[in-house]
Amino acid sequence: EQKKALLAERARYVQSADTLQAEADSLLEDRDPGDVQFDDESGEGDTLAVERDLDLALSAQARDAVEEIDEALDRIRRRVYGVCVKSGKNIPKERLKAIPWASERVEFKAGGLGRR
């Protein structure tokens, strides 16, 4: 069941990353440097740059999620899925339901309760 959920999430993130990358590339290709005004009255150049940077950042985040999902699929293959990589204890089912690719118990996650 978890493997199916992970594969579905992986496909969604791959599609999202590819779409965002294509949008960023399109913004770069569609922009004609002669058409953009860089003065106080026009924020067009800045807007395009910000949109492209945002698309690239979101694409990178989606690709990072794909890597985490691939690691979770590998843990399933090695029969260690659901075991915290830091403590060796079982990750609660509720956490795995919410984040199927979780590799750590919540107390070991950066900013988690165990760090306060």
| pLDDT, one tens digit for every residue, the chain (116 residues) | 889 999 999 999 999 999 999 999 888 876 655 555 555 555 556 788 899 999 999 999 999 999 999 999 999 999 999 999 999 999 999 999 999 999 999 998 765 554 43
Domain ranges of the chain: 1-80, 82-116
What pLDDT, on a 0 to 100 scale, did the predictor assign at position 32? Answer: 58
CB 69 within 8 Å of CB 13 = yes
CB 68 within 8 Å of CB 101 = yes
What pLDDT, on a 0 to 100 scale, did the predictor assign at position 84? Answer: 96
Predicted confidence (pLDDT) per residue in 15-30, tens digit: 999 999 999 988 887 6
Question: The pTM is what?
Answer: 0.76
Instruction: Tell me how far apart the alpha carbons of residues 3 and 9 are, in angstroms, rounded to a whole number.
Output: 10
Predicted confidence (pLDDT) per residue in 86-103, tens digit: 999 999 999 999 999 999
